[in-house]
Structure 1
């Protein structure tokens, strides 16, 4: 079958026994010029099917693509180029490096010599040049390979392997091995000898002709070829990560403004902290990064990540980062590269802000963490108008920016702190807990200072100027450049706005108030809605109540009948529990009471929590009895719960105004149900006055 020809301007073609030069192409119209300069035009299909038509050469030398012969040995590449020069002369009459205007040698001139004659002439020439006989059949075979495969066809075919990957091993053995290697994706790492034994067992159970197992050495070579890029006998974590990668290339997302795409994630922080009662504990880092500027807009350290921490992280991103007492003045926004004067005219809150730009998220990418999949986090995103994108399970490559940023926080910040543990137990030193550790609040302040001083001013390799690719921007510089085109929109949040970010519960308002986990919340503002329906049928006519998992002293009820106004409802035992504590300590002591077989009531749990906090603060549990392991475990658990409660006791967000003291009615609230009366303390006895007749007679009626 004749190969299709390609005609380009400058090519020399044979047409009607004359040589023409292609001087131009216009669609299917070809303009030709003969040797005397006379021009003509005709349709390309007509030209190509005309008798005697042949492309005999090009006026310009064609160069080989760079890197074509890099896979060959240097001597073999030189030999391929040597044949390339001779085959080009056989086909076109000129060598590839012939100067412009050169004429072919008579024995290779396509105008007067046929292709067979040119091949015979080349065979005679190479025989005289090399001193070894080169037949006409060799030249013809080389010429055909050159026309079909190009320069690579001139290389020795023995240089490239022709046998399949499995070699001469039975295909059924290869299939069994591939199946076992695929099953090892989520399993533990095993050695090659394990697969050699398992393949032999599976092969003996196959029906049909007997399967011949290869030798151990052959099997090891086969395993090495099939295992390439799988990490079957390597790191299990790397193996799972590679298995989760897509078959194609990774897509690149282009963002043009701050907040257009942000990523949020949490990870264990590689630094030990010493809590208030001396307990050494680990903490988690929750952070959010802006893809356009690589700015860390918010980062929080918590003992454990809750949904409220993820929701309040959004609020931290949209509000300016405050300057901490004792920070250098150079960390203020007015001393940074950020456009402080222009932003200050729009947002007065930036006057006392640190050099971390506030960014309003438009889209947030999350993973499968419980805190991010919670209904509370999605409700907070809806309240702020943020779109949520869920990354597929076990695919950190769908949010690589936050993954790399949290890794940089460990390499650039955490490893310089006392108590650094490394990324795993393999990298952990001895007696790390005995180092002078920071508290959780101190570590949080150091982290914020590092973000403002180092990260935001550190040139990032992914932030480059398109007009000057060698220049890298810092996150603050990139923000200053993008804000000129995207603009700045301040988003002030009030205390009521923060309530929208807290977890929500749907509760009934009884005559005695609101009951949550044996706790009763009551105030005079509930008088108009007690035992009333909210009118929200989708929620079974219950009332929306917001609560803070880190502080159970207050809850907030949305009054649908008063335009959605929030009612601050205090705990009725607020005065008896001045130390703030959260759901962690409450649930812990409630579980202890159940295990001891005691009655779980509001007053009993409150008394137990108060005793726990007092014992830990007083240090009475510093030396538990070593002879009772169960008591030791309980004491360690109590100390950790109390320490985490103290570390998260301070409110992390502005709160609406709350009553200074519980209302007098809370001393003896009116309760009509039997369950409420069982937990109710006895009312104070008020003595009646003794009737005195003489005094009454003196009064004027």
Structure 2
């Protein structure tokens, strides 16, 4: 409560003033520096934010403490209030209200001693120092001062520990912000040694542990190092939230390894990398890409191109879905139902992206693509995943609702891992990608999210598809999707000659039956910087076709692999390079050999792990591992060498410990049920 009266000195507008007159309506002030006087209305003075005035000892805000007292403490406060009232006025509060003030005899010390003797006679022992302390708090705060404040908000009690002890412990705790997690004993030893050098009394060991517990309030000094580093990188200020008002205003991009083992086309068992792009305003998963190794800058660009095109426009999507449906006919949605879900998936008009400092997201190729498309590029703080919480939470959702149901799930850490997750019937990565696409359009997009709601109904969660419809209905929007030529222009580039038989790219032959391509055979490109070679573009995830740039007509000519009609399914560039390396023939055309290997890989991956391995299956993995090390010819001899005559068939291979590793049976890769 502000208390201003005549004779008080107050601060106003950066100067000191003396209150010379006050009639309740106006106040006359005299400046202490130049003796000038001003007259202000009382309301104007109190409303001035620069006013610095004395405050009354008793504040109405302190009355809230009485509401927090227990009934016993409240009765005790009322009792001591009456006792101190008798000491000051000689009457109780009820008697004083009836008869008024009377003359009080004796000093305060004498009256306090008389009151203490009276209480002793009633069996209440109290010291004289306690009487003086209660009387002083009674004069200052009234009944609030007579209450027992222990355990209430605002009550502090001296710990008796030197402040330098706190400072020293905090100093050594900060030493481990970027280091490995220490033990409490280690920090105490560092602090004890430093305190003894400066002559500060060190508390007992148990008290030091209590002080560490008080200082480590959410800092995770003795917890996980990644969490501690993340908190140390956070700004020392209040948290804020940036609201995205329309779809595509900001897409958050990130990539992470999946917590599951998959089967790669070269026969190895490894974790796959998931690259994800999610729209912040609608929580729509714009695109999700699986790769058998760390994502590259080309994959980051593909995230944007997939987000700005319908799934039906991607060349490999229909083929991949057909192949997956042929392997898992009962677990996948019918083609017409899947087409309806895919059509309901929003096409995001990307205006800006928010990424971390990963190499692929700050590469020159990725930044150039953003500039060409007019997209804003924002980069998060280093080592601070809380800058992009939406994509981090979505990655966790995919891990819980999709990856956890895959065979070969290995847990998020070693302590969550089973005995032999690699012994489960793993499925190929080329099958997991269409299953993930199906899960996104049929499960994630139509499902309501607890953290997603409209402002008109904040308590009602909505689905990403519904959120997109709600925002685009009231906010003027536009449909902006990549055309075929734009999508091709964003693919990786290379330069090749057009031979009489076609284009030789990655040791495969690509050709076109059109009249225009026939005119260009054995001709030189008008681009002289590349020695007459022509610009081609290719999709690293689908090597069934490439595109040739016709500079004269300003168009792209599609060239298909000459064996594309016989190939069972599209294959990626990394698969092609491994197959070519495995074949090892550097002199002749290898299209037919590549096709045979691709068909063999397709059959093996589609059939799942065999229950009873044949000799060929037994020798395949060492050969593939040898091929991965560069020993291609030795690997081919090991695989293709005929079995010796008279050799008997080996018996069924059993696990090392049948009690620990049960026989492997082919199972579904993902449980595509309605329980997701």
> Structure 1-normalised TM-score?
0.60
Indicate the residue corresponding to 1:623 in structure 2.
Answer: 618
Residue 584 (structure 2) pairs with residue 584 (structure 1): no
- Residue number among 171, 174, 186 corresponding to 1:182 in the alignment: 174
Aligned-pair CA distance for 1:569: 7.6
Change (3 A) 1:520 1:417: closer
Q: Deviation digits for residues 553-587 of structure 1, max 9, x if unmatched?
A: 7665656x647544668899999999976553576
Q: Deviation digits for residues 467-524 of structure 1, max 9, x if unmatched?
A: 444322222222222111123422343321112322346x698999999999999983
Aligned-pair CA distance for 1:398: 0.7
Q: Describe the SS at the equivalent of 1:498.
A: helix
Q: Deviation digits for residues 632-684 of structure 1, max 9, x if unmatched?
A: 842576899xxxxxxxxxxxxxxxxxxxxxxxxxxxxxxxxxxxxxxxxxxxx
- Residue number among 472, 477, 485 corresponding to 1:496 in the alignment: 485
Indicate the residue corresponding to 1:358 in structure 2.
Answer: 347
Conservation of the 8 A alpha-carbon contact between 1:511 and 1:531? no
Change (3 A) 1:417 1:136: closer
Conservation of the 8 A alpha-carbon contact between 2:83 and 2:115? no
For residues 543 and 108 of structure 1, what CA distance do their matches in structure 2 show? Answer: 110
Aligned-pair CA distance for 1:545: 5.6
Indicate the residue corresponding to 1:549 in structure 2.
Answer: 540
Indicate the residue corresponding to 1:652 in structure 2.
Answer: none
Q: Deviation digits for residues 578-602 of structure 1, max 9, x if unmatched?
A: 9976553576689999xxxx9x978
For residues 236 and 307 of structure 2, what CA distance do their matches in structure 1 show? Answer: 35
Q: Describe the SS at the equivalent of 2:343.
A: coil
Indicate the residue corresponding to 2:525 in structure 1.
Answer: 529
- Residue number among 300, 304, 314 corresponding to 1:314 in the alignment: 304
Indicate the residue corresponding to 2:10 in structure 1.
Answer: none
Indicate the residue corresponding to 1:650 in structure 2.
Answer: none
Change (3 A) 1:71 1:229: farther
Indicate the residue corresponding to 2:41 in structure 1.
Answer: 43
Aligned-pair CA distance for 1:317: 2.1
Conservation of the 8 A alpha-carbon contact between 2:354 and 2:377? yes
Indicate the residue corresponding to 1:299 in structure 2.
Answer: 288
Residue 236 (structure 2) pairs with residue 236 (structure 1): no
Indicate the residue corresponding to 2:137 in structure 1.
Answer: 142
Change (3 A) 1:509 1:604: closer
Spell out the pairing of 1:204-223 with structure 2 (5 A cutoff).
209=198, 214-223=203-212
Conservation of the 8 A alpha-carbon contact between 2:63 and 2:144? no
Aligned-pair CA distance for 1:622: 3.3
Q: Describe the SS at the equivalent of 1:237.
A: helix
Change (3 A) 1:592 1:411: closer
Aligned-pair CA distance for 1:214: 5.0
- Residue number among 160, 168, 173 corresponding to 2:161 in the alignment: 168
Residue 240 (structure 2) pairs with residue 248 (structure 1): no
Change (3 A) 1:573 1:42: closer
Residue 423 (structure 2) pairs with residue 434 (structure 1): yes
Q: Deviation digits for residues 269-328 of structure 1, max 9, x if unmatched?
A: 223334457644322222222222222232232223232332222232233345967635
Aligned length: 553
Q: Describe the SS at the equivalent of 2:256.
A: strand
Q: Describe the SS at the equivalent of 1:457.
A: coil
Higher alpha-carbon deviation: 289-298 or 576-585: 576-585
For residues 333 and 4 of structure 1, what CA distance do their matches in structure 2 show? Answer: 77
Conservation of the 8 A alpha-carbon contact between 1:380 and 1:500? no
Change (3 A) 1:282 1:158: closer
> Structure 2-normalised TM-score?
0.62
Indicate the residue corresponding to 1:376 in structure 2.
Answer: 365
Higher alpha-carbon deviation: 266-275 or 129-138: 129-138
- Residue number among 626, 631, 636 corresponding to 1:634 in the alignment: 626
For residues 280 and 87 of structure 2, what CA distance do their matches in structure 1 show? Answer: 58
Change (3 A) 1:86 1:590: farther
